[in-house]
Amino acid sequence: MTVFYILDIMGTVAFAISGASVAMNKKMDPFGVFIIAFVTAVGGGTLRDTLIGRQPVIWMTDISYIFLIGLSVIVAILFRQRLKRFNKSLFLFDSIGLGIFTITGTEIGINANFHPIISIALATMTASFGGVIRDILCNEIPVLFRKEIYATACIFGSIAFIILHHLNIDKTIVYISTTFIVIAIRLVAVKYKLTLPTIYSDN
């Protein structure tokens, strides 16, 4: 079991809990909760693998992903009252998933010898598009398309990963540093209500 695989599992669990929390807020039945958790956890990675021609996608060949998502849903349902305080912004589990999937997306791009810009795009897609699908299915404007700093954190994290990788820094340090950067940017943005400017006036 590689570090990359462990990180992918951790990101899947984090996003599954995030998706399940949103679905429970929408008062969906258990099947709906599982579906939202599932697309949140694997949606970005599925789109990424489809675009770069990695077929079949990983959750089709490794059934443990489906079992882990199911287990995450059960945990989220059982501990929904404790998780409730995070439901308003979902920044905790979203930030964890965002940080970890930024790593996996960037490394896949680097290993495929893609241009750094493409690797950054893959990282952003992997980390944020599951949340986009989740929000669309839950009839919400995706957080990616709002002022909130979300994909921007992935971009900065991915840039840091690429720089540290080319400096031949130990891989464990690269993983930890990149994850911390993404999570820190996201948490600071939420705490201090930092947002990107819009092109629209208030009138």
Query: How much is the pLDDT for 90?
Result: 59
Q: In angstroms, rounded to a whole number, what is the distance separating the alpha carbons of residues 72 and 165?
A: 32
Query: How much is the pLDDT for 158?
Result: 97
Query: How much is the pLDDT for 33?
Result: 96
Query: How much is the pLDDT for 193?
Result: 79
Query: How much is the pLDDT for 89?
Result: 45
Low-confidence ranges of the chain (pLDDT < 70): 1, 84-91, 147, 198-203
Give the domain ranges of the chain. 3-191
Residue-wise pLDDT tens digits, 66-80: 999 999 999 999 988
Query: How much is the pLDDT for 146?
Result: 76
User: Which two structure tokens, joined as six digits, stand for 17?
Assistant: 């809990």
Query: How much is the pLDDT for 119?
Result: 97
Q: In angstroms, rounded to a whole number, what is the distance separating the alpha carbons of residues 112 and 41?
A: 23
Q: Cβ(154)–Cβ(123) under 8 Å?
A: yes
Strand partners for 148: 195
The SS3 assignment for 147 reads: coil
Query: How much is the pLDDT for 187?
Result: 86
